[in-house]
Structure 1
């Protein structure tokens, strides 16, 4: 019985990282995929909208440089988000992301993204951070996604805690 309880407690602690890994591998829940390169453009266009949010505990301004683009499926596309540290001290943040509608997540592929690593901004610093992505052309042939005309890529920046305070 104690072994069963220990296994359940262990599973409870492992559930969040396991779920995150599952979402990253499958695109479930609107989680974009990671890729090395784009396959090349095909006919058609899909709109991509960019959304930016900041946790109330992170004193940054964060916004997309361009709010929307129209892309050809398979085409490598680069856009930028801008972040500014509004304080007089260095602060580190980490972005989390999702794609909506959720069924489009498995077709949204990121080649490069600031969200893959923590971002440290010096006091008052402003930076433009790239996102390089493509929308898999297979989105056009999937019964669940072939009528999607616009995808939203959304980021939320959170403070990275170190010793109980944001650094």
Structure 2
């Protein structure tokens, strides 16, 4: 068996490196969505509220209004609304707000809620302690479900020059038709039944 020349060894090494880079790029492409989601949840980037286990914040005298927006994507015959459209809270104060969702259709339907905070920069300071988001819900025709969101606005907001003068934050939820625990990306029109 003939020994490989230095040129052949370099070609083999280059081929293996190129193959490794291609496999790595494909892996990153598949991992990018969950990694981005994790990044947003940890940092509050892009209006994503931070999820916390508890509130150890000092409550300040400074207040801020929190507005609640509720939406239902096409293809899901649900009505969805907060108990109050807006509350005024002190920075650091733990607050609970309830949402009510009702299946107004004539068939069982499954949905999942996603959320964001506006303005985007406030996401870093909006901390959720409990939430119904990303939990798949199946409602029978006419069934109503009441769910809570427990949150606080981190007092550090008052020290951030980009948002310290902010007077209100909007927490927006949207229910999407769901399949296998994920929102259905291409929701059909509300007259077309969703496959369960």
TM-score (norm 2): 0.80
Could you list the runs of 5+ residues in structure 2 that have no partner in the other structure? Answer: 1-17, 185-193
> After superposition, where does 1:61-100 map in structure 2 within 5 Å?
61-100=79-118
CA–CA separation in structure 1 for the residues paired with 2:195 and 2:114 = 17
Greater strand fraction, Structure 1 or Structure 2: 1
**Worse-superposed segment, 145-154 or 121-130:** 121-130
Equivalent residue, structure 1, for 2:139: 121
The alignment yields a C-alpha RMSD, in angstroms, of 1.5
SS in 2 for 1:160: strand
SS in 2 for 1:109: strand
Could you list the runs of 5+ residues in structure 1 that have no partner in the other structure? Answer: none
C-alpha contact (below 8 Å) 1:160/1:166 kept by paired residues: no
1:23 aligns with 2:37: no
TM-score (norm 1): 0.93
Cα 1:133–1:166 change in 2 (3 A) is farther
- What do residues 38-93 of structure 1 show as CA deviations (whole Å, max 9, x unaligned)? 23521110000000111102111111221111000111101111111122222221
Counterpart selection for 2:149 from 117, 125, 131: 131
SS in 1 for 2:111: strand
Q: In the TM superposition, what is the alpha-carbon distance from 1:126 to its structure 2 partner?
A: 1.3
Counterpart selection for 1:32 from 41, 49, 53: 49
Equivalent residue, structure 1, for 2:159: 141
Equivalent residue, structure 1, for 2:126: 108
Cα 1:44–1:52 change in 2 (3 A) is same
Tell me the matched-pair count. 166
- What do residues 94-141 of structure 1 show as CA deviations (whole Å, max 9, x unaligned)? 111100111110110111111142222122111221111000011111
C-alpha contact (below 8 Å) 1:94/1:157 kept by paired residues: yes
